[in-house]
Amino acid sequence: MAKLSVIVCTYNPGDAVFKSCLEHIKLAAAHCQDIEVIVVDNNSDLPVSSRDYMASYTCGLFRVVVETKQGLTPARLKGIQEATGDLLVFVDDDNFIREDFLVQGLGIAEKNPHIGSYSGQVKLVFESEPPAWTRPYWGMLVYREFDKDVWSNLPHLSTTMPCGAGLFVRKHVADYYHKLHEEGKRGIQLDRTGKSLFSGGDNDLAACACDLGLGVGLFHELMLEHFIPQSRLNKKYLVALAKGIATSTVVFKSFRNEYPAELSKKTQFANFVRLAAMDGTSGAFYKAVIEGEKEGRDMLR
């Protein structure tokens, strides 16, 4: 069976959540024969390696490397560069993987040589009870539950696109993504940097499988939990997130030669009418998407 590299990118993590993330990885790793865990500290104010509980992990399977260039993209690239496995999996620092997660992921890779990147179900674990109005927007928080495996070789098909939480990628696919950045073919970083709510670097990484003639997919037996703090459940944050996702989606599609057309007068008028008919919350999200798409088009000029 292939060697597995688990990559955890982190920046100023909350100790309790981060420790739980690492503990879940440790439990899952015990079921694997050939595995390494790479923690990429993205220049945290308090270095990850200096935290007391890290002594339980920075030996054997675990090691910490530092990426001083700020942003999730440079951190991911550092993890790819450091990885020695045939198969990589990216686990966010607020993810809690199931104990069979890594074994299941390895099995999927072995049984599906035509699939280059894939992820699974993501259940949300909330710090406190979420307001009912937020539920339609949980997808932006990477909520995914399903009971059927799906895959395609279409990089822009949302129904088969893996997510960054628990993203498995074959090493040669990840190396290709790394090369695109080295060669300056990714002038715009799609991942978050600082307070930016850009997202889409995980989609770009996953879609590299399609560039190489492989498929992307979602597999229901892969399961993890994603911790959501109370601070991500307010309207201001979620609306800003919607805008960031819309902007980065436009840029992501351009990387594979799909460029958005300017909105016609008719479409602009239709958007105006739709907004006028919406309630305050729905209208705020709809407007954010329109503004985000415009910002994406402006960035590509």
CA dihedral over 214, 218, 220, 226, signed as positive or negative: positive
What value does the mean pLDDT of the chain take? 94
pLDDT of residue 251: 93
126 pairs with which residues across the strands? 228
Least confident range from 15-19, 110-114, 185-189: namely: 185-189
86-122: pLDDT as tens digits: 999 999 999 999 999 999 999 999 999 999 999 999 9
User: For residue 259, what pLDDT is reported?
Assistant: 85
Q: How far is CA 147 from its chain centroid?
A: 21
Q: pLDDT grade, residue 258 (50/70/90)?
A: confident
From the list 273, 225, 198, 188, the residue with the least C-alpha distance to 98 is 225
Calculate helix-pair angle for 235-254, 201-211, nearest 10 degrees: 30
In the chain, alpha helices (H): 15-29, 72-82, 101-111, 171-182, 201-211, 235-254, 265-277, 280-300
Picking from 5, 11, 21, the residue whose alpha carbon sits closest to that of residue 67 is 11
Those residues whose C-beta lies under 8 Å from the C-beta of residue 230, and which sit 6 or more positions away, are: 126, 127, 128
Range 265-281 average pLDDT: 90
The Cβ of residue 138 has, within 10 Å, a number of other Cβ atoms equal to: 19
Percent of the chain with pLDDT over 90: 84
Q: How many Å apart are CA 70 and CA 52, to the nearest integer?
A: 24
> Which of 140, 151, 171, 20 shows the shortest CA–CA distance to 92?
20
pLDDT at 146 over 90: yes
- CATH class of residue range 4-228: alpha beta
Lowest mean pLDDT among 57-66, 229-238, 245-254, 272-281: 57-66
Q: Where are the domains of the chain?
A: 4-228, 232-301
In the predicted model, what is the mean pLDDT of residues 205-228? 98
Nearest to 180 by CA among 212, 151, 135: 212
Task: State pTM to two decimals.
Answer: 0.94
- Given this model, what pLDDT does residue 232 score? 95
Percent with pLDDT over 70 in the chain = 99
Phi-psi category of 79—alpha, beta or left, where left has phi over 0 and alpha has psi -120 to 50?
alpha
> CA 113, 114, 116: angle at the middle one, nearest 5?
90
Residue 229 pLDDT greater than 70, yes or no: yes
Mean pLDDT (whole number) for 282-296: 95
CB 88 within 8 A of CB 80: yes
pLDDT surpassing 70 at residue 190: yes
| pLDDT at position 58 over 80 | no
**pLDDT at residue 59 in the model:** 67
Residue 157 has pLDDT above 80, yes or no: yes
